[in-house]
Amino acid sequence: MIITIDGPAAAGKGTLAAKLAEKFVLTYFDTGMVYRAVGLQMLLGKHSLEDKTAAEAFAKNLTFQKMMELSKNPAFRSLEGSKAASIVAAIPAVRVALLAMQQNFSKNPVFADGTPANGAIYDGRDTGTVVCPNADIKFFITASPEVRAMRRFKEYDAKGEISSYDEVLKQTIARDKNDFARESSQPAKDAIIIDTSELSIEQVFEKVCEIIDAKQKNA
Ligand code: C5P
């Protein structure tokens, strides 16, 4: 079973995906990591984020192992790392270079320890439209920019990263503008859209589980 969860930054996709993966015993591919890995290598190598050739080269050479290594760097999920990921993700050649790696995983999904899984949960922007267009169930999770910025601000604050709510809101809006300029980031035609602005994580989880259970019964 392949489930895709797309939507804007900080809509709650990651938390939801991890909970679903545990409940339905599926592996989880956070596809934002491939773009974060390229963005971080650009920052570490002091390349201009506009250097399309360098970004494409990092994307072409990216392996799962390298991505996992880079994810341990504190800058991987920082404000600066998020911005870099969003900029390199807008380069078409980078997206093309990273597609096979994301798609291959769905053909042979495995858990972190290498054991085979019965399926995978994908989260990202284009997993229901481009990466896994034949997914069994597709969700598009969203929330207002203000609600999402507050969630991210609290995350940064808990990690001790200096930021202000206004700065995070500004970046959330800038990332939305960048990420949703692509047609592929619009909800897939067969995606179930859920606005989480007024819902707790538990309420979203319950709602999504009901939908998956019903789909599985009908299958
Ligand atoms: O999901 P996350 O916030 O970690 O993604 C980081 C960035 O990677 C996003 O802002 C977006 O620009 C890019 N991304 C993408 N397509 C995906 C996943 C992430 O363009 N499937």
pLDDT along the chain (219 residues), means of 10: 96 96 97 98 98 98 97 95 96 98 96 95 98 98 97 91 91 94 97 96 97 91
User: What is the 207 CA–ligand 1 centroid distance (Å)?
Assistant: 24
111 — phi, psi (to 5°)? -80, 170
pLDDT at 159: 87
Residues in a beta bridge with 142: 195
Pocket test of ligand 1: the residue of 13, 70, 86, 101 to mutate, having most ligand atoms within 8 Å of its CB, is 86
Rounded-to-integer distance, Cα 70 and Cα 52, Å: 20
Nearest CA to ligand 1 atom 10: 86
Atom of ligand 1 nearest to the CA of 87: 12
Atom of ligand 1 nearest to the CA of 175: 10
User: What is the 166 CA–ligand 1 centroid distance (Å)?
Assistant: 21
Residue 131 DSSP one-character state: I
Fold exhibited by the domain 2-213: Rossmann fold (3.40.50)
- What are the structure tokens assigned to 72, written together? 């341990």
Domain ranges of the chain: 2-213
Is this prediction's pTM over 0.85? Answer: yes
User: What is the 185 CA–ligand 1 centroid distance (Å)?
Assistant: 10
pLDDT at 219: 79
